[in-house]
Amino acid sequence: MKKKLKKFFATNPSRAYKAKTIAKKLNFNEPHEYAELKAFLHDLVEEGYLTRVGKRFRLKDVTKKLTGTLQISADNNFGFVIPDNPKIKDIFIAEKNLGTAFDGDIVEVQLFAKRKGKNPEGEIIKIIKRATTEITGVLRKTDSFYFVEPDNKKIYRDIYVPRSRLRGAKIGDKVVVTNIKWNSQLLNPEGEIMDVIGKAGTYDTEMFSIAKEFDLRYKFPPKVSAAAANIPVEIPQSEIKKRLDLRRKNIFTIDPETAKDFDDAVSVEFLKNGNYLVGIHIADVSHYVRPGTPVFKEAQKRSTSVYLVGKVIPMLPEKLSNQVCSLVPNEDRLTYSVIAELTPSAKVVNYKIVKTVIRSKRRFTYEEVQKIIDSQKGEFNKEILTLNTLARMLRKKREAKGSINFVKPEVEFVLNKKGVPLDVRIKKIQESNNLIEEFMLLANRIVARHVNLNKRKHNYPFVYRVHDLPDEEKLAEFASFVRSLGYSFSPNAANSSKEMQKLLKQAKGTPEEAVINEVAIRSMAKAVYSPENIGHYGLGFRYYTHFTSPIRRFPDLLVHIQIHEYIEHNKGKVFNYPQLEEYCEHASAQERSAVNAERLSVKLKQMEFLRNKLGDEFDAVISGVTNFGLFVELADTLAEGLVSIRDMDDDFYVFDEKNYTLYGKHKGKKYRLGDKVKVRLIRIDEEKREIDFILS
């Protein structure tokens, strides 16, 4: 009856009706039906859906509709619509008002009059655009019904599949469902199987499933593969003659041991005036991947390579990423180089950005370079030690200007041939890593600054990597929090990034270091790509771009194309502003999806590794505090799970949101973000992707 009433008023939005008129029009003529109808009308007034004018009822303020994107909560019992208009607060949507919307859908919302909480409340009345056209999950059967249980738990309804649309899939298979129709909240969505990925639980199947869950393109279309296959490996002499030939120079790569694509190399020469000529040589992908070609279009759609555990989903076909463009040793390769003259104090006094051809003399791993730094012996030790000294000075200068270095450890896995994790280790960040990082940062800054110094002559749009100032409210909360720990931080300082760096240095090595880093990161904006330069707050740079990884990042490829046209042909405007804006927004969104997919692949492997360790005790740190318990991160594997407040039965615990703390009301015991604790593993639910602990 309530649904019929809503439909009636939605189709008659401007008129007011008496209860008797409505009952007559909807054929609710029995006395008990009329009594029920009046009760529902009063409910709809209370909810803010209807308004009452004397004895008449009409739709509440029909102008209070808006559109936005739905985000469903992790436990699926409510959602928020993020309005298209950024000035409007997020709209709370109760479970009963989600309608037939999926997470990520663009929807129309009818606002209710009032709500007790912080946010306005509403009901989804229309699906404008589906975010989900394909759903990955496991095929199940109950009685005579087949259904797919989605991998993405935010898709909270199973998808019914008629027997005629199974396409040969068997129970237990991991499948992709498409042509999804969902017209009534009372019924489950319906779809058909498009593809059978493989048996659920196998390594390749699970990695493919993660890619699908985040709408990441896993296979290259035949047209793209064919275009890549036709690209020649050999470089014509005519192309070499156009470039600065650096094939005789001592140029080498430094990468992780497991790397397959090498898109950057470095070199250093010793000049007679005592200065150093540092070369940062980047694979010239733009020579092979031109705008409008199938490979370029596919790279734009992907926008980034995705690094799942033990598996790479490349932005470019393997022929390019691992062969033609990869700076492998002892092979001629086309590059785009930033060659900078640095003084012994690491001041840049001159530079050029030039197309080159190189022949890498050596492929170093980070571990090999670290041994040379530590022992001061080994191949190219003079060059490596000089580069390391310069990198240290560049880092010191960067930090002095307010560049923030957050501490965020990562893990790496040792897998067997079937993808089963044999060991989990925390990655070591050493000087060899910092060496490469500093010179990549330098090249990115030089390229961005070069464009901006010439903006008065040529106001061409460009791609920047930008990082906005933190939200003032979040920064004020952060300042209040660190004051409670005995530290001072002024959010209104003229250079708040320098103030932040100063604080992190003060906290280094203290028990509070982890918690201050974590809360600081949470108070930050996210770095994104944009044609509008607003600077990079976190790095403390006025001008910054991404130039150094065109094999795995589409914005870098755009920068290569732009900067070449800008320098060589005075035609920097290869792409117009709206084009670049669209490319940047998509690349930023794809980057977020890739990061989320990578995190999920890590989490699933951590769960797989811990599967046989139920009952074991672990050292952990509190990584999150909520009103329902403590999130803890294990010290040795960085796996994260929940200690439920229900299992903290030694006291009645109260959540102190401002101080990130749970405290016992009677005994006064406190658990604060960043505290070290011992926990015992009690449950792993791989389907729900949950790990549960108790304090021990």
555-599 pLDDT per residue, tens:
999 999 999 988 887 665 789 899 999 999 999 999 999 999 999
What is the pLDDT confidence band of residue 380, given thresholds at 50, 70 and 90? very high
- What pLDDT sits at residue 209? 86
pLDDT of residue 62: 47
Q: pTM value?
A: 0.81
For β-strands 244-245 and 264-270, DSSP reports them as unpaired
Q: What is 65-129's CATH topology?
A: OB fold (Dihydrolipoamide Acetyltransferase, E2P) (2.40.50)
Q: Write out pLDDT tens, residues 402-451.
A: 898 877 788 999 999 888 999 999 988 899 999 999 999 999 999 999 99
- Measured distance CA(608)–CA(310) in Å, rounded: 14
Q: Which CATH class is domain 2-59?
A: mainly alpha
Q: Do domains 65-129 and 135-200 have the same CATH topology?
A: yes
Q: What single letter denotes the amino acid at residue 358?
A: I
Residue 600, pLDDT score? 93
Q: What average pLDDT does the segment 304-313 reach?
A: 94
Phi, psi at 252, each rounded to 5°: -145, 160
User: Are 570 and 595 spatial neighbours (Cβ–Cβ below 8 Å)?
Assistant: no
The tens digit of pLDDT for each residue in 603-647 reads: 999 999 999 999 999 999 898 899 999 999 998 999 999 999 999
- Lowest mean pLDDT segment, chosen from 233-237, 337-341, 514-518, 584-588: 514-518
Per-residue pLDDT band at 457 (split at 50, 70, 90): low
More confident residue, 355 or 31: 355
Which pLDDT belongs to residue 204? Answer: 82
Position 32 pLDDT exceeds 50: yes
- Mean model confidence pLDDT for the chain: 90
pLDDT confidence of 678, banded at 50, 70, 90? very high
End-to-end CA distance of the chain: 53
Q: What is the pLDDT of residue 565?
A: 87
Mean local confidence (pLDDT), 478-505: 82
Spatial distance between the Cα atoms of 68 and 83, rounded to a whole number of angstroms: 4
Per domain, the residue ranges of the chain are: 2-59, 65-129, 135-200, 223-464+542-597, 611-695
Q: For residue 601, what are the contacts with CB-CB under 8 A and spacing of at least 6? A: 207, 210, 308, 309, 311
Read off the pLDDT of each residue in 250-260 and give the average, rounded to a whole number: 93
| pLDDT on residue 458 | 64
> Residue 456 has what pLDDT?
62
What homologous superfamily is domain 611-695 in, according to CATH?
Nucleic acid-binding proteins (2.40.50.140)
Of residues 77 and 29, more confidently modeled: 29
- Asked if the model's pLDDT at residue 680 lies above 90, the reply is yes
CATH 3.40.50.300 applies to domain 135-200: no
Would you call 499 helix, strand, or coil by DSSP?
A: helix
pLDDT surpasses 80 at 493: no
